[in-house]
Amino acid sequence: MTLSTGTTVAGQQTTVPQMSFEEKLKMRIKEGIGDMITDEDLKRVIEAGITNALFGQRFRPGNYGGYDTIPSIVDEAVTKFVDTRVMEAASKWLTEHPEKIQEAIDRAINAGIHKCIQAHYDQRFGGLFRQALAGLRSEGGLPNY
């Protein structure tokens, strides 16, 4: 149980006990079924419930009436945290190494230019070559494959 200070009662500063979620849950369950369960069993049930809620498998409606498994709440939170940190680190690195970015851009442009030139020649002359090959085959100059 934690203590909360700063509460004023009749003009006096007081310290009021503040219960955690687990303590509040335990008290509520004890009020309902207190004579049927021991404190130790109740503690285990609450811990198992919280663990399952945070780390357990979750499901959402899927296609065709089925269900898809989705990450646990903790897995999802960790993934978001890591993704954010990776993006921040990558952004920082990119900002600090603009020459590397320029090299990558140059490689992409050069590769694109080569592909563009090749596509142009294929389009421009490919039909002519196919016609010439067909003519040679029809005249018996080349075997048909």
pLDDT at 73: 93
pTM for the full predicted model? 0.45
Closest Cα partner for 69 from 77, 79, 80, 58?
58
**For residue 144, how many C-alpha atoms fall within 13 Å in the half-sphere facing its CB?**
6
Parallel/antiparallel/unpaired status of strands 12-18 and 2-9: antiparallel
pLDDT at 45: 85
pLDDT at 85: 95
Q: Which two tokens stand for residue 98?
A: 């603009």
**For residue 79, how many C-alpha atoms fall within 13 Å in the half-sphere facing its CB?**
7
- pLDDT < 70 stretches in the chain: 1-17, 34, 141-145
